[in-house]
Amino acid sequence: MFIFDQIRSKDIPIKLIVLFILCCFLLLSSKLWILQISAGDRFQIRQENQSVRAIRLPATRGKILDRNDKPLAVNRLRFDVHIYIDELRALFREHYFRLKKDRKMNRLDQLKLGKEARYQVVSNLTMQVSMRVGNPMVLNQSRFHKHYEQRLYMPLSVMQDLSPVQVAKFVELIHGLPGVGLSVNPVRTYPNGDMAFHALGFLRRDDSPKDSKDVPFSYRYRLPDYVGIDGLEGIYDALLRGDAGAKTIRVNNISYRTSEDIWAWPESGRDIRLSINREIQLSAEEALKSNGSETRGSIIVMDPNNGDLLALVSKPGFDSNKFITGFSNDEISQLNDNRLNRWVNRATGSGNIAYPPGSIFKIISSIAYLEEGVIKNPNNKIFNQGFFRNEKLYPNYSLDDTAPPGDYDFIRAFKLSSNSYFIRYALTPDGRTDQWLQGKKILLDWGNKFMLGKKTISPISISGEKLASPVREGSGYFPSLDNEYKNLNQYGKKNRWAAGDVANLCIGQGEITVTPLQMAVMTSAIANGGEIIQPRLLLAVSSLRENNQFHSIKVPRKVIKNLNLKDETVSLLHKAMLADVDDRDGSGRGARVSGISIGGKTGTAQKQVPTGKFSTKTGSRLFRMDHITWFVSFAPVESPKYVVVVMVESGASGGKICAPIAGKVYRAIQKLEKNKNKGETKLALRL
């Protein structure tokens, strides 16, 4: 060949040129081999990835059900109208030439005209669809252009959440319109509106949530998804959300969709069953609202035998559905109202909110006095002069009594809530000398036995699976027994105990604070004879799918401790609490319901709350006194099945406000039980 002949030439320059050409050919051949053979697979995969769009498919969220499997938070089908832009290319081209006519245009003007032509086609199509379903609307131009430039391979959503009537019209009237489709997507809904808002929580739109399992690729696009923020939706978000799926869309060189493949189907979230009884919850919420639509308070209904929370009410609340559908300006103002503070769960003390217990603490004082032998004979009478004062032993302490002057035995002092009677035993337990330090020890000991100052619900472990506590809970404040200081003041200075502090402690005043949930646990222990039972909100969780069936994992009853109360102590306290409601002069008579024996105790405490104003002289924050009113109860006294605790902020008194509200709850429960018995009787007759 010519080249090889030149190599044999004696002309050195020609030899060098030929050798150089041969080296270039060898280098080119090796490079082609690398590109075509060695790295061919890698380049092919890269090319395929550039034409594939990975899309995250959110899973259907697990249901939240009440104890009877009635829906509290479920999913409904949402119908959306989509336009598939890749099916409109012929219309785009036709409309473009219609607008252009015979005009001569440069490249930039042609691009602008093409952009306008596409928008007009889709906008006209949107108007036709929306008019036929009865809701005319104009397509947002900037939104369309953004979708076309960034998500052309995805359908464009033009109408969302169609009503059943609109869906029917769509099916009947949308004929011959190209590229229009109806998609069906699951969306969270709360059938009972604002019921149990704080317990259930709410969701928030988040298109980039953390997935519960690894995926082999990065998502280019995510369909609308929501994550739990508060309440059960937030605490058990990982359980409820399930595992997302994925699909891939292959597009051509101009980003139009050519095919679609499902890589992994979404796996639904796990269902959870609560102890809440929907009917009792609704009745309790209506009872609290009867005091006024802006009532700030809480109601807890609890089974004292197993700790089941049948109702967990905190008002005011909000409709969880609004976090899905969106808020109006008025609704945003309601959410941000600092006085109503709708975000706080008053039932469990979330957000470190807690309340002075007032006279309902006299239940613990009574237990302490009776169990420690301070009250040796409950029938012994002590004279109440209408106030407590002992200038010889306690010259710096005096307190007016809300109970009228007269002689008081234990039951009369309890039902009329005589402060003097209880302070007398707190400061002079032996009846003769100044023994307030002993009284302090007894009260602190029993307050700690009732687990005041501690959270009532701990994390749950079921079948080896560890779950968080189902509520966000506060602990309130109660001093420990071995602390010589009662608390730290606002300046961080330690305050030592004094006789007046012990006197205030025995009637539920001073620095101690509690939550309604803690008071429900306390009342349950009195009702069941001395067992401190952990409140139970979560009853069961559906396990992972096995053999196409869901198995329920149950949460067991848990006794935290047994107080080992004497039978005579429990019997006497039941009798005193029954008298508080049944007797004509009882402070809790407003809770009386014909046909049910109810034992209760009222309480009214004072609490300093900031006014939001400051003193012009000192610059310090100004406070006002607010009343915290209580009523704790259980029924029926002879065989307790229900504990009802009512707390209302800014109330007149526990007897005037809270006791009547509790009475409404008991009437609702009585009615539900009668209807249940009737239904069971009819079923038995049929069988």
Q: What is the DSSP code string of 359-427?
A: GGGHHHHHHHHHHTTSSS-TT--EEE-SEEEETTTEEEEEEE-SSPSEEE-HHHHHHTT-HHHHHHHHH
Cα 235 from chain centroid (whole Å) = 8
Q: Is residue 383's pLDDT more than 60?
A: yes
In whole angstroms, give the CA distance from residue 361 to residue 514: 10
- Rounded-to-integer distance, Cα 194 and Cα 285, Å: 10
Within 8 A by CB and 6+ apart from 137, the residues are 126, 127, 130, 158, 159
Greatest mean pLDDT among 215-219, 249-253, 281-285, 680-684: 281-285
Question: Taking residues 84-94, what's their average pLDDT?
Answer: 87
Provide the CA 472 distance to its chain's centre, in angstroms.
Answer: 8
Instruction: Check residues 585 and 160 and name the one with the higher pLDDT.
Output: 585
Neighbours of 128 (CB within 10 A): 14
For 437, the token pair is: 């330090």
Exposed (0-12), middle (13-18) or buried (19+): which is 492, by Cβ within 10 Å? exposed
CA distance 198 to 190: 13
What DSSP letter does each residue of 480-542 carry, written as one string?
Answer: -TT-SEEEE-TTS-EEE--HHHHHHHHTT-SS-BB-HHHHHHHHHHHHHTSEEEPPB-EEEEE
Range scoring the smallest mean pLDDT among 135-139, 333-337, 377-381: 333-337
pLDDT, residue 491, reads 43
First-residue to last-residue Cα distance in the chain: 107
Q: ∠ at Cα 262 (547, 184), nearest 5°?
A: 85
pLDDT of the residue at 490: 42
Q: Quick one: average pLDDT of 559-575?
A: 96
Average pLDDT over residues 636-653: 96
pLDDT digits (tens, 9 = 90+) for 313-332: 999 999 999 988 888 888 88
Question: If pLDDT is split at 50, 70 and 90, which confidence band does 26 have?
Answer: confident
Q: Which of 21-25, 310-314, 456-460 has the highest mean pLDDT?
A: 310-314
* Residue with more model confidence, 41 or 142: 142
219 pLDDT more than 70: no
What pLDDT does residue 218 have? 56
Q: What is the pLDDT of residue 19?
A: 74
The whole-chain average pLDDT of the chain stands at 85
Highest mean pLDDT (candidates 185-199, 202-216, 615-629): 185-199
| Peptide bond just before 479 cis, omega within 30 deg | no
Mean of the pLDDT values across residues 280-297?
95
Q: What is the pLDDT of residue 489?
A: 47
Q: Is the pLDDT of residue 621 over 80?
A: no
- 175-197 mean pLDDT: 88
Hey, which of 78-82, 293-297, 384-388, 513-517 has the most confident mean pLDDT? 513-517
254 pLDDT above the threshold of 90: no
- The answer to whether residue 253 scores a pLDDT higher than 80 is no
Residue type, 459: P
> What mean pLDDT do residues 77-100 have?
88
- Residue 214: the pLDDT is 46
pLDDT digits (tens, 9 = 90+) for 430-480: 766 668 889 999 999 999 999 999 999 988 877 667 888 899 999 999 998
Q: Which pairing describes strands 272-274 and 64-65: parallel, antiparallel, or unpaired? A: parallel
Please, what's the largest Cα pairwise distance for the chain?
140
Residue 251 — φ and ψ, nearest 5°?
-120, 160
Worst-scoring range by mean pLDDT, 156-160, 325-329, 367-371, 419-423? Answer: 325-329
| Tokens of residue 416, six digits | 């009329």
pLDDT band at residue 611, thresholds of 50, 70 and 90?
Answer: low
Whether residue 547 is predicted with pLDDT greater than 60 in this model: the reply is no
Task: Tell me the per-residue pLDDT of 473-508, one tens digit each, with 9 for 90 and over.
Answer: 999 999 987 765 666 444 455 677 888 999 999 999
Is it the case that residue 669 has pLDDT exceeding 50?
yes
Q: Is the pLDDT of residue 685 over 60?
A: no
**Measured between alpha carbons, how far is 321 from 204 in angstroms, rounded to an integer?**
10
* Residue 117 identity (one-letter amino acid): A
How far apart are alpha carbons 148 and 505 in whole angstroms?
70
pLDDT at 630 over 50: yes
pLDDT, mean of residues 583-589: 95
Residue type, 450: F
CA distance 280 to 287: 10
Average pLDDT of the segment spanning 391-409: 86
Confidence class of residue 84 from pLDDT cuts 50, 70 and 90? confident
**pLDDT (0 to 100) of residue 178:** 85
Q: Is the pLDDT of residue 7 over 70?
A: no
Determine the pLDDT at residue 582: 97
State residue 57's pLDDT score: 76
